[in-house]
């Protein structure tokens, strides 16, 4: 049965947040142009000591746009960007979009098989990457790129971290590279290989470089799914999708001060979470984007202290690492005002300890690549419900349906979460059958099991594919993981189902103990039996120093299953 009030969440919006917004008919590059016109002299980027103003960022993006156009890139062509967080990643993104190209964000830690799939599937004609990654790119292209597995990839633009560094770091970095044996031989001028710095020097910041863009229909990017459960698919996101989600996020964070916020980018910008709530939102609010090339706990803590970062989106594993670092208690982290956690469940203990340390608010939200990504978030300064993903964003409709019948289920009942809103993708690139499975009558079927309470707060129960069926009982790994996280000696936990001759499947727990903690099967078994029905208690425990994770900290359960399959 459907709830008597079909959208109960609207009654619990903060009074400062409207239930609906009008979304500007603008492209993503238009946002940079608008901000530069008002805040041109303000810092847009900060990278390891170097500051870039909005005027400089706009000029460099125009230079990149001109360089790409000279390489033959036209509207609709795909431009892959495989860079860590650095100024060049931001410049390349906005520059490509200015000429109507479709950006293909590419994970720098992809192995050759994954990189080959994404480049071939997207049909990228240009790849912008860093010199350290060139050997991998070269192996993917082959000795004769035009005859290799990605023949469409005609041009590769290679930058170096030094190109984004201030003096004298930009001089010292190549010396350190050579000393450490990390200076790859890049054959500039051959095989379509171009120097980023030379292309930029030879290009002019032409204000007339813009292509005519239809925000509602033209693609801004092919954002590939994380591939945590299988082969990555290209999600088609329009300029309107991304602009709408950014406006929604800005409206929810209604205390953001235009031209005054400092966004800490420890999340990678090539991930859709970092792209929307860091890069695009920072530009929209004329903030300063503090770029960190990788997540290193000590560096993050020092950057918060020295740069007084105010906004810190992240993943639960990031917050776990921070609160457990010995330096954290000695650092002044009080500048943090908002931290938004996504990509995985946020343990209550982590939330409480982080808020105590910073004085800011850490709230849990939810989203998918297919929705640009944010669809739900807890109120930041008003009443939140721990253990939930909060309320749907403005203009976002949601329902919980029976996975078998498609009928809407009652309040509090478990079913599949379906979403409708301006941030929902056009579909999967070149995969009409996959698109038809998840987009039905304008609704995005997420593949996540969830519940909605009578006030419209949603809670994720688990991925449909992750549910363990043991002896006829459904076991939700997230519930077991939350119980394990409550144990004072557990730093991280992951639950998967493993084959069992008697029950069909049984529960296996992977545990990363906290430093100094001595754990064993018996202790955790006793802990779980006191808090879970017996059929949910893990039958197998494996203790590890770390769990396999994606670059944003999401535990890759697929990797755990693959390890088991490879065992004799």
- pLDDT (tens digit, 9 = 90+) per residue, 403-420? 889 999 999 999 999 999
For the chain, what percent of residues have pLDDT higher than 70?
A: 98
Return d(Cα 498, Cα 481) in angstroms, integer: 16
In tens, the pLDDT along 213-250 reads 999 999 999 999 865 445 689 999 999 999 999 999 99
Mean pLDDT of the chain: 93
In total, how many domains does the chain have? 3
Task: Please tell me whether residues 480 and 354 are part of one structural domain.
Answer: no
Query: Does some domain include residue 505?
Result: yes
**Cα dihedral value 214, 217, 55, 92, nearest 10:** -130
pLDDT of 382 above 50: yes
User: Tokens 């390890």 sit at which residue?
Assistant: 563
In tens, the pLDDT along 310-327 reads 999 998 889 989 999 999
Residue 362 structural domain: 8-18+249-463
Task: Please tell me whether residues 184 and 123 are part of one structural domain.
Answer: yes
Per-residue confidence at 5, pLDDT binned at 50, 70, 90? low
- Kindly report the length of the chain: 568
In the structure encoding, which two tokens stand for residue 504, read together?
Answer: 């069909």
Query: Does some domain include residue 175?
Result: yes
Single out the residue in 463, 481, 513 at which a domain terminates.
Answer: 463
In tens, the pLDDT along 344-381 reads 778 888 899 999 999 999 999 999 999 999 999 999 99
With contact defined as beta carbons under 8 Å apart, do 520 and 552 qualify?
no
Query: What pLDDT does residue 414 have?
Result: 93
Query: Does some domain include residue 227?
Result: no
Task: Please tell me whether residues 457 and 471 are part of one structural domain.
Answer: no
Please report which helix (H) or strand (E) contains residue 341, including its range: strand 338-341
Task: Please tell me whether residues 280 and 173 are part of one structural domain.
Answer: no
pLDDT of 1 above 50: no
List the single range of 332-336, 401-405, 418-422 with lowest mean pLDDT. 401-405
Query: Does some domain include residue 233?
Result: no
With contact defined as beta carbons under 8 Å apart, do 341 and 386 qualify?
no
pLDDT of 565 above 60: yes
pLDDT of 25 above 60: yes
Question: Which whole number is the average pLDDT over 38-66?
Answer: 98
Query: What pLDDT does residue 349 have?
Result: 86
Task: Please tell me whether residues 478 and 444 are part of one structural domain.
Answer: no
In the structure encoding, which two tokens stand for residue 148, read together?
Answer: 């290799």
Question: Which whole number is the average pLDDT over 138-145?
Answer: 94
Per-residue confidence at 443, pLDDT binned at 50, 70, 90? very high
Task: Please tell me whether residues 471 and 414 are part of one structural domain.
Answer: no
In tens, the pLDDT along 178-196 reads 777 777 889 999 999 999 9
For residue 537, what is the domain's CATH number? 3.30.300.30
Task: Please tell me whether residues 312 and 412 are part of one structural domain.
Answer: yes
Task: Please tell me whether residues 263 and 310 are part of one structural domain.
Answer: yes
C-alpha Rg value of the chain to the nearest Å: 24
Per-residue confidence at 3, pLDDT binned at 50, 70, 90? very low
Choose among 186, 204, 177, 180: nearest CA to 69. Answer: 204
Query: What pLDDT does residue 170 have?
Result: 80
Task: Please tell me whether residues 449 and 484 are part of one structural domain.
Answer: no
pLDDT of 66 above 50: yes
For residue 511, the cross-strand partners are: 493, 543
In tens, the pLDDT along 245-297 reads 999 999 999 999 999 999 999 999 999 999 999 999 999 999 999 999 999 99
Q: Helix, strand, or coil here: 159?
A: strand
In the structure encoding, which two tokens stand for residue 255, read together?
Answer: 């205390």
């Amino acid at each position: 049965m459907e709830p008597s009030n079909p959208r109960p969440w609207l009654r619990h919006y903060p009074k400062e947040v409207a239930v609906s917004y009008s979304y500007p008919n603008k492209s993503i590059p238009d946002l940079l142009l608008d901000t530069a016109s008002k805040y041109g002299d303000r810092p847009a980027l900060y990278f390891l000591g170097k500051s870039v103003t909005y005027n400089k960022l706009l000029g460099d993006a125009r230079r990149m746009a001109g360089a790409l156009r000279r390489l033959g890139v036209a509207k609709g062509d795909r431009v892959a960007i495989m860079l860590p967080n650095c100024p060049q990643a931001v410049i390349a993104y906005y520059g490509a979009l200015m000429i109507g190209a479709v950006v293909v964000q590419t994970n720098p830690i992809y192995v050759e098989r994954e990189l080959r799939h994404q480049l071939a599937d997207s049909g990228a004609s240009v790849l912008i990457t860093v010199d350290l990654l060139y050997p991998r790119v070269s192996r993917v292209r082959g000795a004769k790129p035009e005859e290799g597995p990605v023949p469409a990839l005609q041009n590769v633009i290679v930058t170096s971290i030094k190109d984004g560094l201030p003096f004298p770091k930009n001089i010292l970095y190549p010396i350190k590279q050579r000393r450490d044996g990390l200076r790859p031989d890049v054959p500039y001028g051959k095989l379509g290989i171009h120097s980023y710095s030379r292309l930029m020097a030879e290009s002019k910041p032409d204000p007339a470089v813009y292509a005519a863009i239809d925000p509602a229909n033209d693609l801004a990017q092919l954002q590939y799914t994380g591939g945590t459960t299988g082969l990555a698919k290209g999600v088609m996101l329009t300029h309107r999708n991304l602009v709408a989600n950014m406006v929604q996020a800005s409206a929810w964070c209604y205390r953001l001060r235009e031209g005054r916020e400092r966004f800490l980018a420890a999340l990678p910008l090539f991930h859709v979470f970092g792209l929307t709530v860091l890069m695009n939102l920072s530009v929209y609010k004329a903030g300063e984007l503090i770029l960190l090339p990788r997540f290193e706990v000590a560096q993050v803590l020092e950057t918060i202290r020295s740069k007084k970062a105010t906004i810190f989106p992240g993943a639960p594993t990031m917050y776990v690492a921070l609160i457990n670092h010995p330096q954290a208690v000695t650092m002044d982290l009080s500048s943090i005002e908002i931290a938004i956690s996504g990509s995985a469940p946020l343990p209550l203990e982590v939330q409480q300890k982080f808020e105590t340390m910073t004085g800011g608010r850490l709230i849990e939200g939810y989203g998918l690549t297919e929705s640009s990504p944010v669809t739900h978030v807890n109120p930041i300064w008003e009443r939140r419900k721990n253990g939930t993903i909060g309320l749907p964003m403005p203009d976002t409709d949601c329902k919980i349906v029976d996975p078998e019948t498609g009928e809407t289920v009652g309040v509090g009942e478990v079913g599949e979460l379906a979403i409708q809103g301006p941030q929902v993708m056009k579909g999967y690139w070149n995969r009409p059958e996959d698109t038809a499975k998840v987009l039905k009558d304008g609704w995005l079927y997420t593949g996540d099991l969830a519940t909605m309470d009578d006030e419209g707060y949603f809670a994720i129960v688990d991925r449909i594919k992750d549910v363990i069926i043991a002896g006829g009982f459904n076991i939700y790994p997230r519930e077991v993981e939350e119980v394990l996280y409550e144990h004072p000696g557990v730093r991280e936990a992951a639950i998967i189902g493993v084959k069992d001759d008697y029950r069909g499947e049984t529960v296996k727990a992977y545990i990363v103990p906290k430093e100094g903690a001595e754990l064993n099967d018996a202790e955790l078994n006793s802990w779980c039996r006191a808090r879970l029905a017996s059929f949910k208690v893990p039958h197998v425990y494996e203790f590890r120093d770390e769990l396999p994770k994606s670059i944003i900290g999401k535990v890759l359960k697929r990797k755990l299953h693959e390890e088991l399959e490879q065992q004799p």
